[in-house]
Amino acid sequence: MVPRDGHPALPAPVAEQMNSVDAPSVDEDQRYPVGRFRFRDSDERRRGQWIEEIAATPAHLRAAVDRLSATQLDTPYRSGGWTIRQVVHHLPDSHVNAYLRMKLALTEDEPTIKPYDEAVWAELSDSRAGPIEVSLAFLEGLHQRWVLLLRTLRGPDFDRRFIHPEHGRAIGLDEQLATYAWHGRHHVAQITSLRARKGWN
């Protein structure tokens, strides 16, 4: 959970908060094309939907970047934002952390997890310049493994929690599941909405 580029849990920078006093801005729309994350409630039906969304995310990402040139991949999805290439590499970076946190919560008693600085990760050389196929394949394998586990979990498993030291509270696996279903949709839509604006079809 993380982030500076769209995650739910950390406060927005001051400038952005001031901006958001106004009506929904172009920046807000481009940054949050599917809206910000809000966790309300969960039940078995919704959990099933979130798991299927997570199962479908790698294919949605692959379709979103289909036939883009290197120049297009190196275009920021919004002014001042990450390039499409960085967004693609961010997804497995983020979701591998989520996968590990879920495993820790399932095997330990409310473990405190290790945050990571996603903005700095996105500036590392593999994120800035690496071929996207590596991360598309990484995400596919990771989500296959993640979903294999998720589909076997039962109600009480989703009550297990981990402590996120930056949030100062325990986060349940229900909320985490909903977060990452949203997170995949969120970043895929950043790419598809840029494609639509640019007419890259």
Name the site residues for Ni ion (rule: CB under 5 A): 6
Task: Give 6 or 33: the residue with its C-beta nearer to Ni ion.
Answer: 6
Q: Min. distance of Cβ 117 from Ni ion in angstroms?
A: 12
> Cα torsion at 146, 152, 155, 160 (round to 10°)?
-40
Minimum gap (Å) between residue 3 Cβ and Ni ion: 5
Q: How far is the CB of 37 from Ni ion (least distance, A)?
A: 10
Nearer to Ni ion, 90 or 161 (CB): 90
Q: How far is CA 116 from CA 3, 4, 90, 97, 99, in A?
A: 9, 11, 12, 8, 14
Please check whether residue 3 is in contact with residue 119, taking contact to mean a CB–CB distance below 8 angstroms: yes
Dihedrals phi, psi of 22, to nearest 5 degrees: -70, 175
Q: Quick one: 6 or 81, whose CB is closer to Ni ion? A: 6
Q: Which residue is nearest to Ni ion (CB)?
A: 6
Residue with Cβ nearer Ni ion (3 or 172): 3
Instruction: Please report which helix (H) or strand (E) contains residue 89, including its range.
Output: helix 84-107
- Beta carbon of residue 128, minimum distance to Ni ion (angstroms, whole number): 16
